[in-house]
Amino acid sequence: MAQELPPSVLRALLVEDRDDDAVLLVRLLQREGYAVQWGRVDSAQGLEAALVEGVWDVVLCDFRMPGFDAHQALGIVRARDPDLPFIVVSGTVGEEIAVDMMRAGANDYVMKDNLTRLPAAVARELREAEDRRARRFAEAQLRRLSQAVEQGPAIVVVTNAQGRVEYVNRRFVELTGFTPEEVVGTSAHLLAEPPDPQARAELEQALGSGRWWRGEALVRRKDGSRFWAVFTVSAVRDPRGNVVHYVVVAEDVTPLKEAEQRERELRHRLERQVERLQALRAIDVAITSSLDLQLTLNVLLDQVTTQLRVDAASILLREPGTYTLRPAAVRNLKTVGQERVRLGEGAAGEAAVRGDPVRVPDLAEAPGQRERWLAAEGFRAYCALPLVVKGEAVGLLEVLSRSELPEDPDWWGFLEAVAGQAAVAADNARLVEELRRANLNLQLAYDATLEGWSRALDLRDRETEGHTQRVADLTVRLARAMGVPESAIVHVRRGALLHDVGKLGIPDAILLKPGPLTEEEWDIMRRHPEYAYRWLSSIEFLRPALDIPYCHHERWDGKGYPRGLRGEEIPLAARIFAVVDVFDALTSDRPYRKAWSREEALRYIREQAGSQFDPRVVEVFLREVGEP
């Protein structure tokens, strides 16, 4: 790039065949204040070389030279620089020649007999050359800008101050399908407008005040469809500040909007999946934390209707040993929800027999009576999923909707998962019921065995035949009256039945001796509570019943056996039984004495309160059995 020179420096190339004429021109310019740096050529070759080697502000050319003239020189100069000032300096020539040179591209024509015009002509042409260069640069910039606008990725629209289209670029045509001729002159808001009323108001306010606006708007295509674009609308003002144009730059954001929509859908799907996983978890908790099948099925149907947004649902379970399904839990069904369904009848019966889901898209067109009843309740679509356990359908999960059921695989996957959980719940309930019955049967077997033992004891000890059953019944009655928990009553009864089981270890010679026992025999007889403890403590289910067999001969005053326990050290069950046992013994016939009267026995019990018996137990006993 050539080095810039001070404004007073003038680089002048003189095309002149006479050296003295060239010097004359230079001195004339120097007198006008120019610091002239000059060169002289007089041939085409010399001119071309000078233009290549130097940078010049002006060319001063003689019109005619030997073998070379101003026309040739002008052609060479204009080929190199169309803006370089070219002034013809010559003697007297005709007006036609001067006009011809000007038409050919010369900037001015100065006669040698009037050279005083030359400095002013040079100054003028230098200014005009600068203007031409600036204009040419601006035009080049405008061409580049126009090319960028035409070939760029953004939509560009120019309107007048009233908002009518004056220009659209190629991108607008590509995206909308409109030709420039079809939209020029139309109102811009017919082509694009923000759908939000607040955004439209903000746009109108911005345009009315001449400010810029940025926002989203829907652009109309020629085929009537629309797409989203982000707009920037800017005002163009004249030197007086008046808005003369609006420039609209827009970018198609349809891919971004579609990506956002996909993201929203994915987020919504993930949220829905999380909700459904939580719903399945809630059903799992209901199944594992409760043995109440009805409660579990209610939780299950709540989750089905909430998560799947169906209008009604029900669960039907097969009744054991029959060919019918009974409603076990129902949501939003009226009379139909209370009816039993026979296997093989209608959609529900068919699903139970086949073991596969059955869908009815339109209940109004279904042939079954139950389907017609459901249609009469306003339901349209129906689906029954069998609850399969070990290859056998134990029931059905029904869902009903007043509109079409969705085709979403996730929706159906959740429904199938719930049906699987319902099958697990039903099977668990069946297993629990079987276990409960088996446990009940076992309990009954235990109690029957114990009662058999007690009868065996009565048969062995002929003096007390029937005694064991009587004291067991009365002990249970008295224990309930004293507030013993019902869960402990079974152990009280078993202890009462087995209170003398330790006597199995007493020799018959002592147990069945008709007369009084010796001291040594009494020592052996008093061991029967210890024998009971040794025997029963090894049987796990009888350990809670040990209190009576082990402690029923203890006394409130501590003088009893086998351990000499005192007061409340004695288990409550044993204190209760002690009163009942003595009362029954006193009111029963024995080989060595007759039975006491009821009044005598009650008086004795009352007298022994605080010594042999717990006073509180005696009080309750007398209230329950009755004073004499």
Residue count (the chain): 628
**Is 137 found in the same domain as 167?**
no
The pLDDT > 90 percentage for the chain reads 29
Of 280 and 249, more confident: 249
Residue 524 lies in a domain: yes
The DSSP letter of residue 221 is P
Alpha helices (H) in 290-406, listed in sequence order: 293-308, 346-354, 369-376
Do 303 and 414 fall within a single domain? Answer: yes
152: phi then psi, degrees, rounded to nearest 5: -75, 170
Q: Are 194 and 279 in contact (CB under 8 A)?
A: no
Average pLDDT of span 114-124: 90
Q: Which of 211, 233, 252 is the last residue of a domain?
A: 252
Query: Is this prediction's pTM over 0.75?
Result: no
The Cα 80–Cα 144 span in angstroms is 23
pLDDT tier for residue 299 given thresholds of 50, 70 and 90:
confident
**Least confident residue range of 151-155, 260-264, 278-282:** 278-282
Query: Beta partners for 329?
Result: 315
Dmax of the chain from CA atoms?
Answer: 184
Residue 443: inside a domain: no
Residue 315 has pLDDT above 80, yes or no: yes
On whether residue 396 sits in a domain, the answer given is: yes
Residue 234 has pLDDT above 60, yes or no: yes
Torsion sign (Cα): 332, 333, 334, 337: negative
> What confidence tier does 512 reach under pLDDT thresholds 50, 70, 90?
confident
At position 250, the amino acid (one-letter code) is: A
Q: Name the percent of the chain lying above pLDDT 70.
A: 89
pLDDT, tens digit, for every residue of 571-607? Answer: 999 999 999 999 988 988 776 678 898 999 999 999 9
Q: Is a pLDDT exceeding 90 seen at residue 7? A: no
119, 194: one domain: no
287 and 390 assigned to the same domain = yes
- 177: Cβ contacts below 8 Å, ≥ 6 apart: 221, 222, 223
Number of C-alpha atoms within 13 angstroms, CB side, residue 493?
A: 19
Q: Is 268 within the bounds of a domain?
A: no
For residue 277, pLDDT beyond 80? no
Task: Tell whether 283 and 379 lie within a shared domain.
Answer: yes
Q: Is residue 4 part of a domain?
A: no
Q: Both 56 and 125 in a single domain?
A: yes
pLDDT at residue 510 tops 80? yes
Full residue range of the structural domain in which residue 530 is found:
461-625
Please give the angle made by the CA atoms of 257, 258 and 262, to the nearest 5 degrees.
115
Q: Which residue has the higher pLDDT, 19 or 207?
A: 19
- What are the CA-CA distances from residue 544 to residues 216, 495, 550, 560, 569 (Å)? 81, 8, 11, 22, 17
Task: Find residue 111's DSSP bridge partners.
Answer: 90
Neighbours of 337 (CB within 10 A): 19
Distances (CA, A) of 584 to 226, 333, 490, 588: 101, 61, 21, 6
* Weakest mean pLDDT among 81-85, 187-191, 207-211, 251-255: 207-211
User: Is the pLDDT score of 613 beyond 90?
Assistant: yes
The CATH number of the domain where 523 resides is what?
1.10.3210.10
**For the packed helices 598-607 and 572-586, what is the interaxial angle rounded to 10 degrees?**
140
The secondary element (H helix, E strand) that includes residue 313 is strand 312-318
Same domain assignment for residues 219 and 286: no
Lowest-confidence region among 14-23, 55-64, 212-221: 212-221
Whether 136 and 156 share a structural domain: no
In a domain, 451, yes or no: no
The CATH number of whichever domain residue 319 belongs to comes to 3.30.450.40
Burial, 441: exposed, middle or buried (Cβ in 10 Å; 0-12, 13-18, 19+)?
exposed
Q: Are 155 and 169 in contact (CB under 8 A)?
A: yes
Would you place residue 436 in the very low, low, confident or very high pLDDT band (cuts 50, 70, 90)? confident
- pLDDT tens, 555-565? 999 999 999 99
Q: Residue 260 domain-assigned?
A: no
pLDDT at 142: 58
Q: Bridge-partner residues for 246, per DSSP? A: 159, 235
411, part of any domain: yes
**Helical spans, DSSP H, in 484-571:** 486-497, 508-511, 519-525, 528-536, 547-551
Q: How far apart are CA 102 and CA 95, in angstroms?
A: 11
Query: Residue 1 — pLDDT band, cuts 50, 70, 90?
Result: very low
The mean pLDDT of the chain is 84
Q: Band of the pLDDT at 96, cuts 50, 70, 90?
A: confident
Compute the half-sphere exposure of residue 601: CA atoms within 13 Å on the CB side of its CA: 20
What does the alpha-carbon distance between residue 288 and residue 425 come to, in Å, rounded to a whole number? 9
* 212 shares a domain with 75: no
Based on the fold, state whether residues 476 and 585 are members of the same structural domain: yes
Helix (H, G, I), strand (E, B) or coil at 126: helix
What single-letter amino acid sits at 132?
Answer: R
- Can you list the alpha helix ranges (DSSP code H) found in 187-249? 197-208
Q: How many folded domains does the chain comprise?
A: 4
Residue 449 has pLDDT above 80, yes or no: no
Decide which of 97, 117, 142 is a domain's last residue. Answer: 142
Q: Which residue type sits at 475?
A: T
471: its two tokens: 């004291």
Same domain, 23 and 111: yes
Q: Is the pLDDT of residue 621 over 90?
A: yes
Residue 219's CATH number: 3.30.450.20
Is the pLDDT score of 566 beyond 80?
A: yes
* CATH code of residue 22: 3.40.50.2300
Give Cβ neighbours of residue 626 (< 8 Å, ≥ 6 apart).
Answer: 602
Report d(CA 628, CA 618) in Å as an integer.
14
- Alpha-carbon Rg for the chain, nearest whole angstrom, is 59
Bridge partners, residue 324, by sequence: 342
Q: Is 216 helix (H, G, I), strand (E, B) or coil?
A: strand
Q: Are 101 and 88 in contact (CB under 8 A)?
A: yes
Query: CA 334 to CA 369: how far, in whole Å?
Result: 15
β-strands 213-220, 341-342: how paired? unpaired
In angstroms, rounded to a whole number, what is the distance separating the alpha carbons of residues 511 and 517? 9
Question: Looking at the structure, do residues 525 and 596 belong to the same domain, yes or no?
Answer: yes
Task: Determine the pLDDT at residue 3.
Answer: 46
**Separation of first and last alpha carbons in the chain:** 140
